[in-house]
Every structure is written in structure tokens, then in C-alpha cells.
């Protein structure tokens, strides 16, 4: 079993894997903790110089009070400005290392001892930056559990919000702040439960289509990404929940056939949310879709739609939106 650092197991704090991470069995003067990285058990020393990719990774660190452990962040330009983030003050204390994609040279040059990113959302075999490669360089890596669905060799499939809880618990273990992680996860679960309790009850929940991008074929959210949980827990039904995938392309014919009552717009990229709405309204093929006909569009911030603490903000906002819809 490969680990990020070769260390005697007698020095490890070993975790028995659970849905949200593990239960701790500490040893005296422990130097490492063993935590799941997708389906692989990996031993971590406490990192001091972490590089984070995109808002979800940074926000997880900030929510755990670990700003001082962040060496810097990588934020592609399509992402919403960090000045608009609830964690804007924490970003201001942290260096922007690049406004491009994550790459090996940047990580090495920054002196990072750990990288936090997602599989195929930061880490990429095609671009030559993978956890396995970083292991060989002596640099630890942490992957968002939600992205482990199709990680080669060590997949891990969990509901997206369960993946968020797992990440907070696992990062709390790696950085030796388990109490803070338990507090954060407990608060998240309370907020989620409150939305679920208030969700409109209907034998036929309102159907929702998420529009990410695309003209010839729209890109949307299937069952393995946070918007699916946001829609479901708030009281709706993702029209692509039957697709066992993460982000996926579909045909416009599928959207028309499934007749969504609400279209959720993922707000990021060069097109504004309003430009995306205007585009959808301009398509003749969508004129019969109830969401377009009734002008029912909900805008989800990009960082509410990728794995991170802001998933809960997006859930609360969408829950309120559904409750306000006329029945």
C-alpha cells in the first residue's frame, strides 16, 4: 500500500475508515496520521506549506482555521473573484500563486509539502500532476472525496455532501484539529437538517436542470456532484439524477423530453449568469420547457456548486427559493 511518506507504522495514528473519515486510535508521540485518500490509506505528517486549487480547497482550509498553513492558492480566471467570497479576509492573507491551472512546476517551485485539489479538478494525468507523481517527489496530496468516484485504482463513491463531511474530518485529522473539524461538520449537518425539515413535501418534486455551459450540447450535473444533493435535499429532483456520473454533457433533446420546471444556472466563466439565461431563452428548442416558459431560473455560485463549505450556503438559498415558489 503506497503512502505519501515512508514511515514506520508504529509511529502512525491509525484511522479505521468510516463514511466521514475514521475513528482515531492515537499512539504515543505520533508523527503521522493515516487517512483515506480516495480508497487508499495514506500516512501524513502535519503539512506546513499547502497549495490549494480553486475555492473549494481553500475554503475547507479556511473553515478549519488553517489559513496559516496555506502557502498559496491557484485560482483559474473563470472562478468568481475571491473578493466576493465569505472567506475574502482569509484570501487576503494568502498568496495567489497562479491564475492558471495547477501544474507540477508551480507546486515544486512554491516549496509545497501538500496539495489540496480534486481528481480531474486540479490533479490530472494528462497534465502530469497526480497524487502518485507527487508521492514520488515527497509532496503529500489530498483529494476531495466527492471527486474520487472515478479515481483510477482507488475509487470511493459517496453522496457528495457526505464527501464534504469526510473531507473536513480527514483534514482535521491531518492537521491535528479534530475538535474543530467535528464542530464544523456538526454545524453543517444541523444546517442541512434544517433545510430538509422545511423542504416542500410533494409526491412529484419540482424537476431541475442545471446548466453549466455549452451551446451544441449543454454540460450539466449528474448524480455524483454537490448540486445533485443541493437539489434533492431542498425538495427538488435533478432531471439527471439517474446518470451515474459527475459533470456530464447531454443533448438538448434530453432536456426538452424531461421538461424541467426550474433551471439552475452555475455562475462562473466568461458568460455572466444573465447571459446564460438569455442564451437559454433564445433557443427555439427550449420554448416548450416549463422553466423557460415560466422564467424560473435560480443562480448557483460556482463555489456553492463544487465541493466546499459553501455547498451549505447554496443549499440554504435554493431551499428558500423552492419554499417561495407558488404551488
**Contact between 110 and 51 (Cβ < 8 Å):** yes
pLDDT band, residue 327 (cuts 50/70/90): confident
Q: Same CATH fold, 201-324 and 9-190? A: yes
pLDDT the model gives residue 6? 29
C-alpha distances in Å from residue 277, one per residue of 22, 140, 273? 43, 41, 6
pLDDT the model gives residue 77? 86
φ, ψ (nearest 5 deg) of residue 164: -60, -45
Give the mean pLDDT of the chain: 91
What DSSP letter does each residue of 116-185 carry, written as one string? Answer: EEEETBEEBTTTTB-HHHHHHHT-EEEE-GGGGGG-TTS-----HHHHHHHHHHHHHHHTT-HHHHHHHH
pLDDT the model gives residue 78? 85
Report the percent of the chain where pLDDT is more than 70.
91
Record the pTM: 0.90
Beta bridge partners of 118: 121, 122
What is the rounded distance in angstroms from the CA atom of residue 60 to the CA atom of residue 15? 20
pLDDT the model gives residue 173? 98
pLDDT the model gives residue 203? 85
pLDDT band, residue 30 (cuts 50/70/90): low
151-184 pLDDT tens trace: 999 999 999 999 999 999 999 999 999 999 999 9
pLDDT the model gives residue 202? 85
**Contact between 290 and 261 (Cβ < 8 Å):** yes
CATH number of 9-190: 3.40.50.1980
**Contact between 94 and 57 (Cβ < 8 Å):** no
What DSSP letter does each residue of 192-203 carry, written as one string? Answer: HHHHHHHSPP-S
266-289 pLDDT tens trace: 999 999 999 999 999 999 999 999
What is the rounded distance in angstroms from the CA atom of residue 279 to the CA atom of residue 212? 12
Q: Which three cell numbers stand for residue 75?
A: 485560482
Say whether pLDDT at 68 is over 80: yes
C-alpha torsion 255→258→260→261, nearest 10:
150
What DSSP letter does each residue of 249-303 carry, written as one string? Answer: E--HHHHHHH--SEEEEEE-SSS-HHHHHHHHHH-GGGTT-HHHHTT-EEEEEHH
C-alpha distances in Å from residue 293, one per residue of 216, 260, 282, 318? 21, 11, 11, 20
What is the rounded distance in angstroms from the CA atom of residue 86 to the CA atom of residue 59? 9
pLDDT band, residue 23 (cuts 50/70/90): very low
Q: Which helix H or strand E contains 211, and what residues bound it?
A: strand 207-211
Q: Which three cell numbers stand for residue 156?
A: 470511493
Segments making up each domain of the chain, as ranges:
9-190, 201-324
What is the rounded distance in angstroms from the CA atom of residue 45 to the CA atom of residue 69? 13
pLDDT the model gives residue 29? 39
What is the rounded distance in angstroms from the CA atom of residue 136 to the CA atom of residue 302? 33
pLDDT the model gives residue 193? 98
DSSP code of 325? S
Q: Which three cell numbers stand for residue 43?
A: 500516512
pLDDT the model gives residue 64? 98
C-alpha distances in Å from residue 265, one per residue of 63, 196, 221, 318? 26, 22, 11, 12
CATH 3.40.50.1980 fits 201-324, yes or no: yes
Using DSSP's 3-state secondary structure scheme, residue 214 falls into: coil
107-123 pLDDT tens trace: 999 999 999 999 999 99
243-266 pLDDT tens trace: 999 999 999 999 999 999 999 999
Amino acid at each position: 500500500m503506497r503512502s505519501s511518506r515512508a514511515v514506520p507504522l508504529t509511529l502512525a495514528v491509525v484511522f479505521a475508515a468510516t463514511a466521514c473519515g475514521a475513528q482515531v486510535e492515537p499512539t504515543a508521540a505520533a508523527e503521522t496520521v493515516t487517512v483515506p485518500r480516495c480508497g487508499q490509506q495514506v500516512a501524513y505528517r502535519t503539512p506546513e506549506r499547502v497549495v490549494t486549487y480553486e475555492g473549494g480547497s481553500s475554503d475547507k482550509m479556511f473553515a478549519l482555521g488553517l489559513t496559516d498553513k496555506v502557502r498559496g492558492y491557484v485560482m483559474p480566471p473563470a472562478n468568481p473573484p475571491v473578493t466576493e467570497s465569505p472567506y475574502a479576509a482569509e484570501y487576503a492573507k494568502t498568496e495567489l500563486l497562479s491564475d492558471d491551472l495547477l501544474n507540477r512546476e508551480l507546486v515544486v517551485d512554491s516549496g509545497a509539502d501538500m496539495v489540496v485539489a480534486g481528481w480531474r479538478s486540479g490533479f490530472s494525468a494528462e497534465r502530469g500532476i497526480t497524487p502518485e507523481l507527487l508521492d514520488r517527489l515527497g509532496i503529500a496530496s489530498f483529494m476531495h472525496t466527492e471527486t474520487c468516484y472515478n479515481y483510477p485504482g482507488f475509487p470511493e463513491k459517496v453522496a457528495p455532501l457526505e464527501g464534504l463531511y469526510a473531507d473536513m474530518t480527514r483534514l482535521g485529522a491531518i492537521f491535528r484539529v479534530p475538535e474543530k473539524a467535528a464542530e464544523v461538520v456538526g454545524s453543517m449537518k444541523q444546517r442541512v437538517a434544517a433545510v430538509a425539515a422545511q423542504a416542500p413535501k410533494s409526491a412529484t418534486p419540482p424537476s431541475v436542470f442545471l446548466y453549466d455551459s455549452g451551446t451544441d450540447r449543454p454540460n450539466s450535473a449528474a448524480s455524483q456532484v454537490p448540486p445533485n444533493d443541493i437539489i434533492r435535499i431542498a425538495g427538488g429532483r435533478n432531471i439527471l439524477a439517474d446518470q451515474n456520473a459527475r459533470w456530464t454533457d447531454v443533448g438538448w433533446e434530453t432536456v426538452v423530453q424531461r421538461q424541467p420546471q426550474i433551471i439552475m444556472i452555475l455562475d462562473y466563466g466568461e458568460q455572466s449568469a444573465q447571459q446564460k439565461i438569455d442564451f437559454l431563452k433564445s433557443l427555439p428548442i427550449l420554448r416548450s420547457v416549463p422553466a423557460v416558459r415560466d422564467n424560473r431560473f435560480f443562480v448557483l455560485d460556482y463555489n456553492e456548486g463544487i465541493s466546499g463549505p459553501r455547498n451549505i450556503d447554496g443549499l440554504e438559498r435554493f431551499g428558500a427559493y423552492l419554499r417561495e415558489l407558488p404551488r
